[in-house]
């Protein structure tokens, strides 16, 4: 009986010991979780080419006149313009001569895609020249031609020699007379070379001197190629004075050959 009690007490003591041990056992902490992996950055998609500008200057032209296309592009591997222009550099200019209203399209291609832009050029017809009425030129008479184109040649006192100044005058007269004779308006018109003298001396003497002056002028003109068959001579001596004063300057004006139409 006593032994049985001891066993029971021993068993109870062991149970208590075990319980106490269990109550004082340390709790082991759980290991921390690893951090999440960093996010993976996705590559950005390539951007399309950027057309900074595409212009036509001027945008309105007269037919046959040029307009200048200008453009600037970035990020393109291939650039072209239609209307027969074809491939171009990423920036530049090109003159175009549209014959009518035209729209130009610029196309820029790159890794990221294609971009495009258009410009238009308006073409106007050239202004019609003003209608001018034909100028009616009045036909000059033979006398008007001679008074405007042919000059008198002058001589020294009591002389029929061609002076140096008279040579220059008669040379210009020869050119004018050639034009006169080649003009159909004056066909059949002859030119009379008149010999004149100042008032000094007799009538007969001055008629003879005037004739020599007219003949000297005719020979000079012939030598320059003026048609002789259209030239005539006459002497008026001192009959037709162009100046009536009694001075050397006035007498000089009277010593001359004059040209008239017949």
Range of the domain at 83: 50-124
Q: How many structural domains does the chain have? A: 2
Q: Are residues 154 and 223 in the same domain?
A: yes
| pLDDT of 74 | 92
| pLDDT of 46 | 79
| pLDDT of 130 | 79
Q: Are residues 56 and 114 in the same domain?
A: yes
Q: Is residue 35 part of a domain?
A: no
| pLDDT of 165 | 92
pLDDT, tens digit (0-9, with 9 covering 90-100), for 173-186: 999 999 999 999 99
Residues of the chain with pLDDT below 70 are 1-29, 133-138
Q: Is residue 79 part of a domain?
A: yes
Q: Are residues 111 and 147 in the same domain?
A: no
Q: Is residue 78 part of a domain?
A: yes
| CATH number reported for the structural domain that contains residue 202 in this entry | 3.30.1330.60
Q: Is residue 196 part of a domain?
A: yes
Q: Are residues 99 and 201 in the same domain?
A: no
Q: Is residue 94 part of a domain?
A: yes
Q: Are residues 161 and 253 in the same domain?
A: yes
Q: Is residue 33 part of a domain?
A: no
Report how far residue 43's alpha carbon sits from residue 190's, in angstroms, rounded to the nearest whole number.
105
Report how far residue 18's alpha carbon sits from residue 141's, in angstroms, rounded to the nearest whole number.
161
Q: Are residues 170 and 81 in the same domain?
A: no
| pLDDT of 131 | 75
- Report the first-to-last Cα separation within the chain, whole angstroms: 196
- Number of Cβ atoms within 10 Å of the Cβ of 167: 12
pLDDT, tens digit (0-9, with 9 covering 90-100), for 2-56: 555 545 555 655 555 555 554 455 555 677 788 888 887 777 777 899 999 999 9
Q: Is residue 19 part of a domain?
A: no
**118-140 b/e (C-beta count within 10 Å ≥ 16 → b):** ebebebeeeeeeeeeeeeeeeee
Encoded tokens for 9? 């007490």
């Amino acid at each position: 009986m006593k032994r049985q009690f001891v066993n029971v007490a021993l068993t109870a003591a062991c149970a208590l010991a075990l319980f106490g041990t269990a109550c004082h056992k340390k709790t082991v902490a759980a290991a921390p979780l690893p951090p999440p992996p960093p996010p993976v950055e996705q590559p950005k998609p390539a951007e399309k080419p950027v057309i900074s500008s595409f212009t036509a200057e001027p945008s309105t032209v007269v037919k046959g006149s040029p307009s200048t296309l200008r453009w600037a592009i970035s990020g393109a591997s291939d650039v072209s313009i239609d209307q027969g222009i074809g491939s171009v550099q990423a920036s530049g200019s090109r003159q175009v001569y549209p014959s009518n209203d035209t729209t130009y399209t610029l196309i820029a291609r790159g890794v990221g895609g294609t971009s495009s832009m258009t410009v238009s050029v308006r073409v106007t017809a050239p202004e019609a020249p003003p209608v001018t009425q034909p100028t009616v030129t009045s036909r000059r008479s033979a006398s008007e031609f001679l008074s405007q184109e042919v000059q008198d040649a002058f001589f020294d006192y009591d002389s029929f020699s061609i002076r140096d100044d008279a040579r220059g005058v008669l040379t210009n007269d020869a050119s004018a007379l050639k034009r006169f004779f080649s003009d159909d308006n004056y066909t059949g018109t002859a030119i009379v070379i008149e010999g004149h003298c100042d008032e000094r001396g007799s009538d007969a003497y001055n008629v003879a001197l005037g004739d020599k002056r007219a003949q000297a002028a005719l020979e000079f003109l012939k030598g320059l190629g003026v048609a002789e068959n259209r030239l005539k001579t006459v002497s008026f001596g001192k009959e037709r004075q162009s100046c009536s004063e009694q001075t050397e300057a006035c007498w000089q004006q009277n010593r001359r050959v004059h040209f008239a139409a017949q």
